[in-house]
Amino acid sequence: MIITRKSLPRRTFLRGVGASLALPLLDAMIPAATAATKTPARPVKRLGFVFMPMGCDLPRWTPPGTDGKLGTLSPILSSLEPVKQHVTALTNLDLQNAYPGTHATSNAAFLSAARAKITESSDYYLGTTVDQIAAQQLGKETQLPSLELAMDMMQTVGQCDNGYACVYQNNLSWASPTTPLPAEAHPRMVFEMLFGEGGSAAERRATLRRRASLLDWVRDDIADLKRKLGPADQARVAQYLDTVREVERRIQKAEADTVGHPLPDLDRPRGVPAAYGDHARLMFDLQVLAMQGDITRVSTFQLARETSNRTYPEIGVSDPHHPLSHHGNDPDKIARMAKINQYHVSLFAYFLERLKATPEGDGTLLDNSLLLYGSGMGNPNVHDHTNLPILVAGGAAGGMKGGRHLRYDKPVPLANLHLTLLDKVGVRLDRFADSSGKVDELFQPLTV
């Protein structure tokens, strides 16, 4: 590593054979001319989306109370208690362009708010999704313009739902109305995207597997870097490198555990953690690393595929998710579906806590991010796209007021929220899809 300035460039990398390790934001990255002011390094803005499939049990989701505060949490949202002050729930948002109600349009409209062309062929047509509009601007200065992740293997051929091509059901992100962006479910492949360098994807992956650890190949650069940093920056780098090593260790363990199990799971690729929760937490930790190293500023994550028949034995639910979502108002089925909903939210809560625990500048990664969690479906029993379960988290550094529950008397387009989030990360549009305005209340003080 060669440093020719008194301050480190934000795009500083530690490099080894076939590897490139970006650094977190450090005080040493303050321009030398302004370092004497003791002003913390200025963070960047990030935007993330987490998709929950097949709606939820709305009575167990919707927070109680009518005073606008997020006080006592509902059963499904209970795991958010440690980060409640960073979260706002929004009730009565809808996706009119997702009708007629289907699983395919629930997924396709979530980030596009667009109407999918009815076709089972390759002449599909949707709309550019909000994340990709953000990536066009926020991704200009990063290694990856955006990061698309999922938990399931995606089959992209055949009919999936009511005459809609599978491409609608499998892809959250669309770079254009005709360009879906496939998501990656394998932690090793994501790790390689973040830290591999040079050659094809297969060549970078092979290089990563040949070495014992990424950090072993950049050890000299790490030692050289630490000699140039103050105590606070050394602590930040140490925490970041510890996280990288721990994530890599978990990936290696998952790969080793599958050696004696040659039969693949139909829902997930080989070489991933056997337990859904371990896999999801690993994928969330990879997103934290991507954000911390400024490898990308835009991400999407599909927690499960629409119509997924995944079971969740780790929480005592042996029924496949999709049949449970068509519960026919059976109280027992609804309760089991709600346990899945609660489990998914708990994993999002884990992500928020990890971001909150990661310092950046004079705040945290959570402060410098805006994250939307939710589904394109409300009541899955009737394939409804009204009263969607929606949360927004983070953003305190950008002025978002958390700890609230915004209830709307009349349905508000989800596109209004997308337009607002774009605006707050510096992407200015007059309209997005069927938007009718902005949700400025997210960034205004609560009046009661």
Alpha helical stretches, state H, 329-448: 331-356, 414-424
How do residues 319-361 score in pLDDT, each as one tens digit? 999 999 999 999 999 999 999 999 999 999 999 999 999 999 8
| Mean pLDDT, range 242-250, rounded to an integer | 86
Whether the Cβ atoms of residue 410 and residue 93 lie closer than 8 Å to each other: no
3-state secondary structure of 61: helix
Q: What domains does the chain contain, in order, with CATH numbers? A: 1-42+191-271 (no CATH), 45-185+273-443 (3.40.720.10)
Does residue 3 register a pLDDT over 60?
Answer: no
What is the structure's pLDDT at 370?
97
76 residue type, one letter:
I
CB 89 within 8 A of CB 63: yes
User: Residue 375 — very low, low, confident or very high, per pLDDT cuts 50/70/90?
Assistant: very high
Residue 79 in this model has a pLDDT that exceeds 60: yes
The H-or-E segment that residue 174 falls in is strand 173-176
Predicted local distance difference test score (pLDDT) of residue 197? 62
CA distance 83 to 80: 5
152 Cβ contact list (under 8 Å, min separation 6):
185, 267, 268, 302, 304, 305, 308, 310
pLDDT at 158: 46
Residue 223 has pLDDT above 50, yes or no: yes
Helices (H), 33-146: 58-61, 103-112, 130-138
pLDDT at 17 over 60: no
Supply the pLDDT for residue 227: 82
Helices 231-257 and 219-226: angle between axes, nearest 10 degrees = 160
Q: 58-67, 240-249, 300-309 — which is least confidently predicted?
A: 240-249
pLDDT band of 81, cuts 50, 70, 90:
very high
What is the pLDDT, as a whole number, of residue 34?
46
State the chain's mean pLDDT as an integer: 87
Whether pLDDT at 260 is above 90: no
Give the mean pLDDT of 101-106. Answer: 93
Residue 4: the pLDDT is 38
In Å, what is the CA distance from 69 to each residue of 84, 89, 267?
10, 10, 39
